[in-house]
A = this chain, B = another copy of it.
Amino acid sequence: VRSYKQFCSLAKTLDVIGERWTMLVLRELMLRGASRYTDLRDGLPGIATNLLAERLRDLEQAGLVAREEAPPPVATTLYRLTPRGEELRPALVELAQWGMALMPDAPDDDSFRGHWLELPVELHLADREPDGPPMTIEVRTGGAPMLIESVDGAVRTRSGTAEHPDLLISGPPKLVLGTLIGKVGLQDAAARGLQYEGDPSALARLQPPGAAVTEAAGPRP
């Protein structure tokens, strides 16, 4: 492992997680929990398989990741974050927060996985009617369908489908994200190719308090 050899805590952090792909491996483990090798590779489009193996080995040695032999029904090895690895979550969330401003400029051919929506959704959405009835939005964009659920004021995401979601939206990732965080109005989005079905007010209920046409320079909560 290469080191900056500087007595500085930021440099020490980067000695451990600063190499290419490493933080994205941690992202996968944070968003999906304990994962198999193949699932990690699927969540990291573009990574070379030997690199994934090497990063996992390094992270294990650094004490951020633990391997685990799963019991018979799965019968494979799982990778999961250790508590020490989990402690990096606030830092990665901050980095992701900063990157939100770059999302509208993303090229349309970027690869995408549904669970990546979890970060922006949980950062930017809040239930304006916490005492209202539970609500479910189903999102279909680039692969596996996702659910956004608000129960007792808490907004959560998970993969899967719902029997009768209050709202179902589908379309290209950029448009879906823009719509979810309120950057694009539902009607605008529909005109640009977004499909939806159900109750549009479900979306309005999740916009954060300060939401409007605010282009803004990155609000800090």
Closest chain B residue to A20, Cβ basis: B18
Pick from B12, B98, B217: contact of A91, CB below 8 A: B98
Any B CB within 8 A of the CB of A27: yes
Contact B9 A119 (CB under 8 A): yes
Chain multiplicity (copies): 2
Contact B218 A87 (CB under 8 A): yes
Closest chain B residue to A14, Cβ basis: B23
Query: Would A91 and B94 be within 8 Å (CB), given that A11-B24, A18-B20 are in contact?
Result: yes
Contact B110 A6 (CB under 8 A): yes
Pick from B10, B46, B92, B97: contact of A6, CB below 8 A: B46
Closest chain B residue to A173, Cβ basis: B7
Any B CB within 8 A of the CB of A164: no
Number of A residues with CB within 8 Å of any CB on chain B: 53
Closest chain B residue to A10, Cβ basis: B96
A103, A110, A119, most chain B CB atoms within 10 A: A110
Could you list which residues of chain A lie within 8 angstroms of chain B, going by C-beta atoms? Answer: 4-16, 18, 20, 23-24, 27, 45-46, 83-84, 87-88, 90-92, 94-100, 102-103, 106-107, 109-113, 116, 119-120, 142, 173-174, 177, 217-218, 220
